[in-house]
Amino acid sequence: MADTHQFDVDKLFGVKDFVAVVTGGGTGIGLMAAQALSANGAKVYITGRRKEVLENAAKTHQPAKGSGQIIPIGPCDVTSKDDLEKLVTDLSKREKYIDLLICNAGISGPKAEPKDSEAEDLKARLWNNEDPSDWHDNFNTNVTAVYFTTVAFLPLLQAGIRPKGPLEPYSPSVITISSMSGIMRHAQGHFSYNTAKGATVHLTKLMSAEFQKAQIRVNSIAPGYFPSEMTAKSSDEKQKSYVPPEKIQDKGHVPLMRAGREEEMGMTVLYLAKNQYVNGEIIAVDGGVLNVVAGR
């Protein structure tokens, strides 16, 4: 039975001495995750395709106190098996294990709103604004790369199992970043993206079931509208993005009438990182959108 002191927030959500890897960690949700983990004591390696972005994010957002760190590593294109192998090899020279892998790297793809009711017009809009190559790129980054990234890190993750010690008990875990868009029936003009994120959701469940024999948990965060380069189309000199409330309010289906706060994403990352009894879950952090827009 737990004594009251064991419910201290540091014991519940502290990640001191954790080693984490975040793909797409230089901006957006990946950077939010890196900040949340490092602020609570973790050593966080961030990777991505743009070396200068990674270095600037690490330099700008180091924790002001404590033992946590944000460390750039790479660059790495997660759609390349060679890059993933090199990333794992390089990291293995620095660390004997990792406790957490966050598969965050992703792309949005083209937008084609299916507004028309006449079939000819509907076909023209969708046919002319999308291409099979767009679908391939979307699946390659948002689904296939999530699978191969996770597989590449399985040995380092399993090496992080610690049945005894200051962090006991701990089984390593993977957090995939899917999307509320992969759970809803509204296409949002992004058929390829929403379909790919739906596949990310199912891939998470498959990996959770299959990798539990290796004592590795796999869960997913399905974000709603959070400030990132994907939603805001840009970031500032600190690699941060801003989405004005008016842009969210104009969508008409977000009950909180604002984008998600970065701290709200951080809370979810820490919860999934530490709660050993959660496996195979998809947690929507969407401000209530899926209460308004039909889900699966």
Residue 256, SS3? coil
Q: What pLDDT score does 71 carry?
A: 98
Strand locations in 149-216 (E): 173-177
* The pairing of beta strand 100-103 with beta strand 19-23: parallel
Query: Would you say residue 166 has pLDDT above 70?
Result: no
Higher-pLDDT residue of 158 and 227 is: 158
Report the mean per-residue pLDDT for the chain.
93
Query: Would you say residue 296 has pLDDT above 80?
Result: no
**Catalytic status, residue 171:** no
Task: Please tell me whether the peptide bond between 75 and the residue prior to it is cis, using omega within 30 degrees of 0.
Answer: yes
Query: The tokens of 270 are what?
Result: 């820490």
User: Of 108, 178, 181, 220, which is the active-site residue?
Assistant: 178
Which of 89, 95, 22, 88 minimizes the C-alpha distance to 57?
22
**Catalytic status, residue 193:** yes
User: Of 193, 220, 225, 228, which is the active-site residue?
Assistant: 193
Q: Which domains does the chain have, with CATH numbers?
A: 4-292 (3.40.50.720)
Q: What pLDDT score does 56 carry?
A: 95
Residues 9-65 have pLDDT tens digits of 999 999 999 999 999 999 999 999 999 999 999 999 999 999 999 999 999 999 999
168 pLDDT band, cuts 50/70/90, is low
Length of the chain: 296
Higher-pLDDT residue of 255 and 112 is: 255
Q: What pLDDT score does 164 carry?
A: 55
Cβ atoms 41, 17 nearer than 8 A: yes
Cβ atoms 260, 226 nearer than 8 A: yes
**Catalytic status, residue 197:** yes
Query: Would you say residue 167 has pLDDT above 60?
Result: no
Q: What pLDDT score does 229 carry?
A: 81
- The H or E element that residue 44 is part of is strand 43-47
1 pLDDT band, cuts 50/70/90, is confident
116 pLDDT band, cuts 50/70/90, is confident
Residues 61-80 have pLDDT tens digits of 999 998 999 999 999 999 99
pTM higher than 0.75:
yes
Residues 207-250 have pLDDT tens digits of 999 999 999 999 999 999 998 888 878 788 887 898 889 999 99
115 pLDDT band, cuts 50/70/90, is confident
Whole-number percent of the chain with pLDDT over 70 = 98
Q: CA-CA distance, 292 to 170, in Å (whole number)?
A: 37
Mean pLDDT of 266-274: 98
- The H or E element that residue 35 is part of is helix 28-39
Q: CA-CA distance, 204 to 147, in Å (whole number)?
A: 9
**Interhelix angle for 132-139 vs 191-211, to 10°?**
30
User: Of 38, 108, 197, 225, which is the active-site residue?
Assistant: 197
- The H or E element that residue 147 is part of is helix 145-158
